[in-house]
A and B are shown apart, each in its own frame.
Chain A
Amino acid sequence: MSGQLDEIRLQFQADLERCASAGDAEELRVKYLGRKRGLLTAAFRELGKLSPRERAAFGKEANRLKGEITAALDGLQAGPQPAADRVDITLPAPAPRVGRRHPVSEMRRRIEAIFIELGYRIEDGPQIETDYYNFQALNFPPDHPARDTQDTFFLEHELLLRTHTSPVQVRVMERQRPPIKIIIPGRVYRPDYDITHTPVFFQVEGLVVDRGITFGDLKGTLDYFCRRMFGAQTRTRFRPSFFPFTEPSAEVDISCPYCGGEGCRICKNSGWIEILGSGMVDPAVLTNVGIDPHEHSGFAFGMGIDRQVLLLHGLDDQRLLFENDLQMLEQIGGWR
């Protein structure tokens, strides 16, 4: 029996949606509640045919439906409430005026947070450097082809703009004995300007030096970092490479966070994305700062922060990051 009431309710709701005027509402009132042929009125007439227990339940349901229909039609005939009494919740609200952090800064903080969690200290150093700290101490001899990989801005007085954050490694090792466990975020400079290069960009470098540091420690640390950064499902791949200040050296690839390694446009169908350079600190670098490579070993790694921003947000032009367009900042800038 209550199926009959459900049907009436559905039908009424359908009619109600089509109902446009007070006149329409009156027609509906007759159709459902009319004394002679109202649909609900007819249902009430069935009451007599029911057992006393069924009658009570059905009566209650039917009365409730009658109440709903009456209220809906009354509301419709009364017309809309005056605006002063009710807020139009669809009106646009003013946004609180909050500044946004530049996406590169935001990314730097994300990276820093992961290493701070692992007990690293943040270090910094000059952006204007000497050839010694930027190159020689890092095992780039003068007139060495390895320098070709790092074009350099030169200043007067035999100074230059650091091409990487690595000179800070040397400065820290000069003033502090192992154990050392630091990261170095900062601005670096190379005279390149195209879709994937800007003359200023940002790196984060890491350095750990102590007794008994192994290549496995390097792997474990970067593995942990990549999983914290790109998600627990991320796999890493270490490939032999060459940097003058590390030996052995490794490039680190992560499984593509976009396709999970299936292959897509972002990873150029390889399933992997190169993310980091790393390696065991070259004994020549340790010797240069007076640390005995037979006693201590260490690892170092570095990554471009801008690159990670491009990857995370799917930006295809690094130069956009330095236009500082509010549209960019408001879309992908950080909060906090």
Chain B
Amino acid sequence: MRFSWEWLLEHVELQSEPQEAADLLSKHGLTVDEVIEEGGDVVLDIDITPNRPDAMNVRGVARELVAVAGAPLRPLALGYDEAQKPAAELCSVRIDDPQGCRRFCARVIEGVTNGPAPDWMARRLERVGLRSINLLVDITNYVLWELGHPLHGYDLALVPGGEIVVRRAAAGERLRTIDDVERTLDPSILAIADRERAIGIGGVMGGADSEINEATVGILLEGAYFDPVLIRRGSRKLGLSTEASYRFERGADINGMVEAIDRCCHLYQRLAGGSVLAGMVDQYPAPREPVRIEMEGKRLCSFAGLEIPAKRVGEIFEALELPARREGDIWTVDVPSRRVDLEREADLFEEAIRIVGYDKVPATLPHVDLPPAGATPLQSTVDAAEGAMLAAGYSEVLNYDFVDPEQNRIFAPAGAGEPIEVLNPIAAPQMSVMRQSLAPSLLTNIRHNHTRGQTGVRLFEIARTFFYEGGAPVERTTVGFAADALEPAPFWHSTPRPADFFESKGVMEFLFTRLDLRDMIISEGSAEFLEPAARADVSHRGEQVGWFGQVAEGVLARFDLPGAVFGGQIELEGLAGEGAPDRRFRRGSRFPSVSRDISFTLGSEATFAQVRGAIEAAGVEELVEIRLLDLYRGESTSGKPSLTVRVVYQSRDRTLTQEEVESYHGQVRGSLSKLGVEFR
């Protein structure tokens, strides 16, 4: 909100420079964003928080300067002569909705001459960002900016009989507002009406048909107090936010508005030659109850962490023009109607501390008696998973949680149900549902990096996926990873291997090792978004918790990705706290080990798990390692897998003899041959 320095000085007697004043305001409560020199004047751009509608005007800022700079407030010219003729003869007001409109005041001014506003007024309005229209309209805008209360002038001749009714609009009632837009109203909106139809939207904008114009000679001046919530709803419904609605929403000054009306009449008389009719028509069915707050001095000090003597507290209340008296340690403050933000003791604490200055409060550290805190199981699990992925050479990404519904559908786990939809997405459909898998985001990230010339991209993310379960939202912390299989640029020393199925498997196994989970089962995959030839499901204690493998070609095409992508995902939520760390050290045998390699061809349906099983089934206690040295499948083996397996024998208590090793190895070969392998 913009304020003219020259205008401010008309309200407060201040010696300091604008920057100095701005610093004081910022330090004590009104943040001055900018001090701008402009046409011989200085504009203060002040960011006024919504709790301080009282400061959203020149006089309010001036009062704040009185409090923080100790400068005296200048009196305001409000005087005018009243004509003999009573206003009530030409105007009447009826409030049908006393909750929506708690007070409505009207004054009548006759014999005005419209025209351009004087230069000084037009200049001030323009300086603060308002447009000068004509004298009569400018006067109400000027008073709005000066005193903060929105007033509205009607052309008296255009309000039949001067009769004003404040009521809810009828359904479908129409009104052309002064911005020349035809609007349709409804009963949630407060209308200012003449005896037949709406002539304005209460607290938001007046109607065009009763608008002040070049020919206006008589004015019906409205000053009213409207309910903040009602105005806000109406303004939102109409999509129409105005200087008036902005202030009414935040709370207008129900008693102080009379001053604004007087100021307006003063200016009508002084500048437009008007004659103000006698008396103000004032409908104020339930006057504001006095607001009185008690504050304990001792509590203020212990809350602030600063000793503020009673004398200082008294000075602060005085500077803020808050009538206060003290009995013992208890202060009683009568809150003026303009300070709608002051209701409770804490509100007075704030006033006292900010005027004393936040910088005066000594910095201390709280002494809170609490046992040391540890991480929750989920936090530890997330930390471990993150550490594992970083160590595996995957870099972390962070993505938006909303994705394209089509992309989401591809990766949604079987039976996931409808995704959680965002009703007001910033981009539809691309960002309209909460992701049920991290995969679409990771593929998008790989694609982005390809466009930047990167290959061998390895990424992971730990974030939540979102589901409805029985109508309620469920969030599941999940880790997902993906790597492309593009050939990296050659390097003289060694060319890094592109990712493949077994890299994903290794990463998944490493994750489980790192999480100290022992009961992981990898089984044939079922996910349709993975290649049937290279996919696996991961389960833990009978529950499927994830998958890994090669992303199906058709899916990659939808992400515009060439080559192959391998990745996986597991839900961490159910695994948290399930890990059973075994940190016991086991010393290796002191006796030498003996290795024997076996080469054989496997039946085309057999798996390595069966080979391992067969070797273990030999029941040799001294067998300590089975290592697959080589795997070949080609023409020379008629398409069957040909394996070379190294078996290592070692005893914990003796050196094995040649005969023992031969005997063990014989048992192993015997067991293998039952599998139907052909030794080479």
Mark A residues whose CB is within 8 Å of B: 91-94, 97-102, 104-105, 116, 118-122, 124, 126-128, 142-146, 148-149, 153-157, 159, 161, 179, 181, 187, 189, 191-193, 198-200, 202, 208, 210, 212-217, 219-221, 223-224, 237-242, 247-251, 280, 282-283, 293, 297, 321-327, 329-330, 333, 335-336
Contact = CB atoms under 8 A, between A and B. Distances in A.
B365 A280 contact: no
A144 B49 CA distance: 13
Interface string B405-427: 00000000000000011111110
Given A187-B401, A214-B364, A157 B493 contact: no
Given A101-B390, A208-B366, A122 B379 contact: yes
Contacts of B386: 101, 105
Contacts of B379: 122, 124
Contact of A240 (B50, B358, B389, B466): B358
Most chain A beta-carbon neighbours within 10 Å: one of B363, B365, B420: B363
Contacts of B345: 283
A326 B423 contact: no
A199 B50 contact: no
A122 B361 contact: no
Interface string B444-464: 010011001010011110011
Contacts of B372: 119
A51 B27 CA distance: 84
B6 to A, nearest CB: 25
Contacts of A198: 400
B401 A127 contact: yes
A221 B373 contact: no
B491 interface: yes
A80 B229 CA distance: 89
B395 interface: yes
Given A128-B420, A187-B401, A325-B448, A145 B232 contact: yes
7 contacts: A97-B393, A200-B400, A214-B306, A240-B27, A241-B31, A248-B354, A333-B396
A215 B304 contact: yes
A221 B353 CA distance: 18
A98 B387 CA distance: 11
Interface string B24-45: 0011110100000000000000
B398 interface: yes
Contacts of B358: 215, 219, 238-240, 250
Contacts of A100: 390, 395-396
B489 interface: no
A283 B402 contact: no
Contacts of A156: 420-421, 423
Given A193-B426, A241-B31, A128 B475 contact: yes
Given A99-B395, A324-B398, A221 B366 contact: yes
Contacts of B26: 239
A248 B421 CA distance: 38
B421 A155 contact: yes
B365 A322 contact: no
A91 B228 CA distance: 73
A240 B358 CA distance: 8
B51 to A, nearest CB: 5
Given A124-B376, A124-B378, A199-B426, 14 more contacts: A92-B492, A98-B393, A99-B391, A153-B425, A154-B423, A179-B368, A208-B368, A214-B303, A214-B304, A216-B361, A219-B305, A219-B358, A297-B303, A329-B396
